[in-house]
Amino acid sequence: MTHPAWGAALAALPSCWREAIGDEFGAPYMDALAEFLLAERAAGKTIFPPEPLVFAALMRTPLQQVRAVILGQDPYHQPGQAMGLSFSVPKGVRIPPSLRNIHKELAGDCGIPAPDHGCLTHWADGGVLLLNTALTVEQGKAGSHARAGWHSFTDRVIQAVNAQPSPVAFLLWGGHARKKAPMLDAGRHLVLESDHPSPLAAARAAVSPCPFAGSRPFSRTNDFLRAQGRNDLIDWRLP
Protein backbone atom coordinates (compact mmCIF):
# COMPACT_ATOMS: atom_id res chain seq x y z
CA MET A 1 0.00 0.00 0.00
CA THR A 2 1.32 3.42 -0.97
CA HIS A 3 2.16 5.83 1.85
CA PRO A 4 -0.28 8.80 1.87
CA ALA A 5 2.64 11.17 1.34
CA TRP A 6 3.24 9.66 -2.11
CA GLY A 7 -0.36 9.33 -3.27
CA ALA A 8 -0.65 12.59 -5.19
CA ALA A 9 2.80 12.25 -6.75
CA LEU A 10 2.11 8.73 -7.95
CA ALA A 11 -1.26 9.72 -9.42
CA ALA A 12 0.33 12.64 -11.27
CA LEU A 13 3.06 10.60 -12.96
CA PRO A 14 2.73 9.86 -16.66
CA SER A 15 1.12 6.44 -17.10
CA CYS A 16 4.30 4.97 -18.60
CA TRP A 17 6.22 5.70 -15.41
CA ARG A 18 3.39 4.41 -13.21
CA GLU A 19 3.39 1.14 -15.13
CA ALA A 20 7.18 0.79 -14.96
CA ILE A 21 7.90 1.86 -11.37
CA GLY A 22 4.55 2.51 -9.69
CA ASP A 23 4.84 -0.49 -7.39
CA GLU A 24 8.04 0.97 -6.00
CA PHE A 25 6.03 3.59 -4.12
CA GLY A 26 4.62 0.80 -1.95
CA ALA A 27 8.02 -0.57 -0.98
CA PRO A 28 8.95 -0.47 2.74
CA TYR A 29 11.91 1.82 2.12
CA MET A 30 9.58 4.37 0.48
CA ASP A 31 7.39 4.29 3.61
CA ALA A 32 10.50 4.98 5.67
CA LEU A 33 11.58 7.73 3.28
CA ALA A 34 8.18 9.41 3.51
CA GLU A 35 8.31 9.33 7.31
CA PHE A 36 11.85 10.70 7.26
CA LEU A 37 10.84 13.67 5.10
CA LEU A 38 7.75 14.36 7.20
CA ALA A 39 9.88 14.35 10.36
CA GLU A 40 12.51 16.63 8.82
CA ARG A 41 9.90 19.17 7.79
CA ALA A 42 8.15 18.92 11.17
CA ALA A 43 11.49 19.70 12.80
CA GLY A 44 11.60 22.97 10.89
CA LYS A 45 14.18 21.94 8.32
CA THR A 46 13.88 23.30 4.80
CA ILE A 47 13.92 20.61 2.14
CA PHE A 48 14.62 21.20 -1.55
CA PRO A 49 13.14 21.08 -4.08
CA PRO A 50 9.65 22.17 -3.02
CA GLU A 51 7.44 19.14 -2.51
CA PRO A 52 5.49 19.47 -5.81
CA LEU A 53 8.78 19.37 -7.77
CA VAL A 54 10.41 16.30 -6.19
CA PHE A 55 9.45 14.07 -9.13
CA ALA A 56 9.68 16.79 -11.80
CA ALA A 57 12.19 14.81 -13.87
CA LEU A 58 9.68 12.00 -14.36
CA MET A 59 6.83 14.41 -14.91
CA ARG A 60 8.55 16.30 -17.71
CA THR A 61 10.14 13.35 -19.52
CA PRO A 62 7.90 10.31 -20.05
CA LEU A 63 9.72 6.98 -20.13
CA GLN A 64 9.04 6.22 -23.78
CA GLN A 65 10.46 9.61 -24.79
CA VAL A 66 13.81 9.22 -23.01
CA ARG A 67 16.74 9.36 -25.43
CA ALA A 68 19.39 10.41 -22.94
CA VAL A 69 19.84 10.52 -19.17
CA ILE A 70 21.96 13.12 -17.42
CA LEU A 71 22.60 11.76 -13.96
CA GLY A 72 23.80 13.99 -11.15
CA GLN A 73 24.11 13.69 -7.38
CA ASP A 74 21.38 15.60 -5.55
CA PRO A 75 19.41 18.85 -5.89
CA TYR A 76 20.90 22.27 -5.36
CA HIS A 77 20.70 23.11 -1.67
CA GLN A 78 20.27 26.89 -1.66
CA PRO A 79 16.93 28.76 -1.83
CA GLY A 80 15.35 29.25 -5.22
CA GLN A 81 17.64 26.91 -7.12
CA ALA A 82 16.31 23.33 -7.10
CA MET A 83 13.51 22.56 -9.53
CA GLY A 84 13.59 18.77 -9.60
CA LEU A 85 15.76 18.55 -12.74
CA SER A 86 19.44 17.75 -12.35
CA PHE A 87 21.70 20.79 -12.81
CA SER A 88 18.80 23.07 -13.80
CA VAL A 89 17.74 26.30 -12.07
CA PRO A 90 14.78 28.54 -12.91
CA LYS A 91 15.26 31.46 -15.25
CA GLY A 92 16.25 34.56 -13.33
CA VAL A 93 18.27 32.58 -10.77
CA ARG A 94 22.03 33.03 -10.78
CA ILE A 95 23.69 30.25 -12.77
CA PRO A 96 25.60 27.90 -10.42
CA PRO A 97 29.28 27.19 -11.17
CA SER A 98 28.67 23.57 -12.21
CA LEU A 99 26.08 24.67 -14.74
CA ARG A 100 28.42 27.35 -16.08
CA ASN A 101 30.91 24.58 -16.79
CA ILE A 102 28.18 22.61 -18.55
CA HIS A 103 27.47 25.68 -20.68
CA LYS A 104 31.18 25.97 -21.51
CA GLU A 105 31.34 22.33 -22.56
CA LEU A 106 28.21 22.74 -24.67
CA ALA A 107 29.78 25.71 -26.46
CA GLY A 108 33.07 23.91 -27.02
CA ASP A 109 31.41 20.67 -28.08
CA CYS A 110 28.55 21.89 -30.27
CA GLY A 111 29.26 25.57 -30.85
CA ILE A 112 26.09 26.52 -29.00
CA PRO A 113 26.51 29.89 -27.26
CA ALA A 114 26.08 29.88 -23.52
CA PRO A 115 22.60 31.12 -22.62
CA ASP A 116 21.95 33.87 -20.08
CA HIS A 117 19.94 31.50 -17.88
CA GLY A 118 20.26 28.09 -16.25
CA CYS A 119 16.91 26.53 -17.08
CA LEU A 120 17.22 23.11 -18.76
CA THR A 121 13.53 22.39 -19.28
CA HIS A 122 14.06 22.45 -23.06
CA TRP A 123 16.27 19.39 -22.67
CA ALA A 124 13.80 17.65 -20.38
CA ASP A 125 10.94 18.31 -22.76
CA GLY A 126 13.09 17.04 -25.62
CA GLY A 127 13.81 13.59 -24.23
CA VAL A 128 16.66 14.16 -21.74
CA LEU A 129 15.86 12.70 -18.32
CA LEU A 130 17.49 15.09 -15.86
CA LEU A 131 17.79 12.79 -12.87
CA ASN A 132 19.67 12.99 -9.58
CA THR A 133 20.59 9.92 -7.55
CA ALA A 134 18.86 11.55 -4.55
CA LEU A 135 15.72 13.61 -5.15
CA THR A 136 15.76 15.79 -2.02
CA VAL A 137 18.31 17.60 0.11
CA GLU A 138 18.34 19.71 3.27
CA GLN A 139 19.07 23.39 2.82
CA GLY A 140 22.76 24.12 2.96
CA LYS A 141 23.79 20.47 3.30
CA ALA A 142 24.83 18.83 0.05
CA GLY A 143 24.45 15.06 0.13
CA SER A 144 22.35 15.16 3.30
CA HIS A 145 19.68 12.78 1.93
CA ALA A 146 22.02 10.44 0.07
CA ARG A 147 21.33 7.65 2.57
CA ALA A 148 17.65 8.35 3.09
CA GLY A 149 16.47 5.74 0.60
CA TRP A 150 16.37 7.68 -2.64
CA HIS A 151 19.11 5.61 -4.26
CA SER A 152 16.91 2.53 -4.22
CA PHE A 153 14.17 4.49 -5.96
CA THR A 154 16.37 6.14 -8.58
CA ASP A 155 18.09 2.81 -9.24
CA ARG A 156 14.66 1.49 -10.21
CA VAL A 157 14.16 4.48 -12.52
CA ILE A 158 17.54 3.83 -14.14
CA GLN A 159 16.72 0.14 -14.54
CA ALA A 160 13.45 1.03 -16.24
CA VAL A 161 15.28 3.17 -18.80
CA ASN A 162 17.97 0.51 -19.23
CA ALA A 163 15.25 -2.04 -20.05
CA GLN A 164 13.74 0.06 -22.84
CA PRO A 165 14.07 -1.46 -26.31
CA SER A 166 15.45 1.72 -27.92
CA PRO A 167 19.11 2.53 -27.16
CA VAL A 168 19.70 5.66 -25.10
CA ALA A 169 22.74 7.59 -23.87
CA PHE A 170 23.58 7.64 -20.16
CA LEU A 171 25.72 10.62 -19.14
CA LEU A 172 27.11 9.86 -15.68
CA TRP A 173 28.61 12.99 -14.16
CA GLY A 174 30.42 12.61 -10.86
CA GLY A 175 31.16 9.80 -8.43
CA HIS A 176 27.59 9.14 -7.29
CA ALA A 177 26.41 8.86 -10.89
CA ARG A 178 29.34 6.77 -12.09
CA LYS A 179 28.59 4.11 -9.49
CA LYS A 180 25.51 3.28 -11.57
CA ALA A 181 27.53 2.22 -14.62
CA PRO A 182 27.55 -1.52 -13.71
CA MET A 183 23.73 -1.47 -13.81
CA LEU A 184 23.69 -0.48 -17.47
CA ASP A 185 23.80 -2.56 -20.62
CA ALA A 186 26.76 -0.91 -22.34
CA GLY A 187 26.32 -3.30 -25.25
CA ARG A 188 23.05 -1.60 -26.21
CA HIS A 189 23.32 1.85 -24.69
CA LEU A 190 25.96 4.56 -24.74
CA VAL A 191 27.50 4.99 -21.28
CA LEU A 192 29.63 8.12 -20.89
CA GLU A 193 31.36 8.58 -17.54
CA SER A 194 33.12 11.74 -16.47
CA ASP A 195 33.97 13.81 -13.44
CA HIS A 196 31.32 16.11 -12.03
CA PRO A 197 31.20 19.49 -13.81
CA SER A 198 31.88 21.30 -10.53
CA PRO A 199 34.85 23.68 -10.19
CA LEU A 200 36.29 21.37 -7.52
CA ALA A 201 36.44 18.47 -9.95
CA ALA A 202 37.71 20.78 -12.71
CA ALA A 203 40.63 21.76 -10.49
CA ARG A 204 41.72 18.13 -10.51
CA ALA A 205 41.20 17.66 -14.25
CA ALA A 206 44.92 17.47 -15.04
CA VAL A 207 45.28 14.28 -13.03
CA SER A 208 41.86 12.80 -13.76
CA PRO A 209 41.39 9.92 -16.23
CA CYS A 210 37.97 11.26 -17.25
CA PRO A 211 37.65 15.04 -16.81
CA PHE A 212 34.37 16.67 -17.69
CA ALA A 213 35.93 19.42 -19.80
CA GLY A 214 36.53 18.13 -23.30
CA SER A 215 34.40 15.01 -22.80
CA ARG A 216 32.03 16.09 -25.63
CA PRO A 217 28.96 14.40 -24.15
CA PHE A 218 26.45 16.30 -26.27
CA SER A 219 27.85 15.58 -29.73
CA ARG A 220 28.74 12.02 -28.75
CA THR A 221 25.16 11.43 -27.66
CA ASN A 222 23.77 12.57 -31.01
CA ASP A 223 26.47 10.65 -32.90
CA PHE A 224 25.34 7.53 -31.05
CA LEU A 225 21.65 8.13 -31.73
CA ARG A 226 22.42 8.76 -35.39
CA ALA A 227 24.40 5.52 -35.58
CA GLN A 228 21.36 3.70 -34.23
CA GLY A 229 19.35 4.97 -37.16
CA ARG A 230 17.39 7.45 -35.10
CA ASN A 231 16.46 10.73 -36.71
CA ASP A 232 15.09 12.33 -33.53
CA LEU A 233 18.40 13.76 -32.38
CA ILE A 234 18.49 15.89 -29.24
CA ASP A 235 18.27 19.64 -29.66
CA TRP A 236 20.87 20.81 -27.16
CA ARG A 237 20.12 24.50 -27.63
CA LEU A 238 18.78 26.36 -24.58
CA PRO A 239 16.34 29.02 -25.77
Hey, which residues are catalytic here?
Answer: 74
- Collapsing DSSP to helix, strand or coil, 132 comes out as strand
- 72 in helix, strand or coil? strand
Task: Confirm if 217 and 211 have CB atoms less than 8 A apart.
Answer: no
The β-bridge relationship of strands 169-173 and 137-138 is: unpaired
Going from the C-alpha of 74 to that of each of 132, 146, 196, the distances in angstroms are 5, 8, 12
The total number of residues written for the chain in this structure: 239
Whether the Cβ atoms of residue 208 and residue 201 lie closer than 8 Å to each other: yes
HSE-up of residue 221 (Cα within 13 Å, Cβ side):
27
SS3 1: coil
Backbone angles phi, psi at 164, to 5 degrees: -65, 145
Helix (H) or strand (E) holding 156: helix 150-162
Is the CB of residue 173 less than 8 Å from the CB of residue 195?
Answer: yes
Closest CA to 27 of 161, 137, 154: 154
Residue 204: Cβ within 10 Å count? 10
